[in-house]
Homo-oligomer: A and B are copies of this chain.
């Protein structure tokens, strides 16, 4: 292996970039070239495999679509020699479990991804979200459309495949399968024992994941979990992540009069719920995003020097993202990467009365606030919830779980409906465990260049659950483009990311060793 193993942890990350990127091509025993050769000969076939999987309507509202996707994945694994099955729990989409027998490697790795996609609003899409189509550029107009079945290899790395779940996460599944095929074609054996967990309800909140994992704890025994979810760094650089923020959703409703009242006749006397909601938000969150609620940020674990060092080495994308997003300045001054290491209070939505031409001279009847908290170690949803409720009570609000009746309204001047969504904590795990160093090393060779090492992504993935149940390293292994419109209309995958993703999976399967 590499000199990486013997260095002090905080310097390893530097060395990974310096030493390995230069040496990568020479160090992989021809693996990269073998995989590339295979891919170049099978590009259309790989895209077709992804398109076939993405045409299955595996979204939460379509039980038959979820079942069909699970069936298809079991078939795909068995075709490749896996022992594959579906696990079921009442009310849950099936979980596809696969294991490759006959390998006697020292280490076992579980490759996780999810095969369900976010719900779709077809009217917002340029074309049917379940009829995947390829375009030479953004946006997905007819003029940009290309037919990969008749296209001559090599397909352009910048072409994009559109369809629900093509990026999130079906690309990871197909990259895994294609990598496996490439290894087989080159006569290479995996360097680790391989298990596969493909979940079917991640986009619906992974409500049964804990139960699946606990019910099958022995079968899932491993030395490492690799999580094939999320996009790579905005710089386009390959990326690994070692944690993810947790999340906790909150809906607040402030009550005004039971009917909208003329604000000339009653303004200054009848409480204005829109103004109260605004004051409430201003009390909870400073303009740089700092959460002002006492106790919410209690127990926030400081970044380690290793984590700080990794963040300092991330390519800066702040200026280009500002241009892309049309923003003149960021909320704080610490830069994007560091800002995501803090807890966040995001206002997702506000609604009270009417605005624009529809606005009437009226005091609204209520105001609704939609919030999510992004949690960091060692915050817990329960402690955040307790701190928020204590704060709201101390600010003079009477908290209720349901819409209040007239008696409650009259008895309590400031009524606030508080509805918590389910949530889960964050995880930030070691970047210098043996497994972590091996993954960094293999991914650096797969990427043939430096890898963005992110201690914790800002978005929420329930990494904590794998860590909590299995006490083994959990590392995020994203492959898709950051501008993939995941969760939105016109989700898309850049072909270059799929090609690079196949290399990533090939190296995790055949190069990984510790």
Contact = CB atoms under 8 A, between A and B. Distances in A.
Query: Taking the full assembly, how many copies of this chain does it contain?
Result: 2
A410 interface: yes
A57 interface: no
A259 interface: yes
Contact of A349 (B259, B331, B364, B374): B364
B413 A271 contact: no
A355 B487 contact: no
Given A275-B281, A287-B276, A350-B350, A344 B270 contact: no
Contact of A328 (B287, B368, B415): B415
A124 to B, nearest CB: 12
A428 interface: no
A344 B263 contact: yes
B327 A270 contact: yes
The binding surface of chain A is classed by DSSP as mixed
A339 interface: yes
Nearest to A419: B356
Interface stretch (A28-36, A456-464, A468-476, A494-502): A456-464
A101 interface: no
Contacts of A412: 328
B372 A327 contact: no
Interface in A327-350: 327-332, 335-336, 339-340, 342, 344-350
A349 B327 CA distance: 25
A484 to B, nearest CB: 11
Contacts of A361: 247, 346, 348, 372, 487
Contacts of A345: 275
B370 A353 contact: yes
Contacts of A282: 278-279, 281-283
A265 B481 CA distance: 13
B281 A285 contact: no
A440 interface: no
A348 B344 contact: no
Interface in A239-278: 245, 247, 249, 251, 255-272, 274-278
Given A245-B264, A350-B352, 11 more contacts: A251-B355, A262-B487, A266-B336, A267-B458, A270-B327, A271-B327, A274-B348, A275-B345, A348-B360, A349-B359, A350-B353
Interface of A: 245, 247, 249, 251, 255-272, 274-283, 285, 287, 289, 322-323, 325-332, 335-336, 339-340, 342, 344-356, 358-364, 367-370, 372, 374, 406, 409-415, 457-460, 482, 486-488
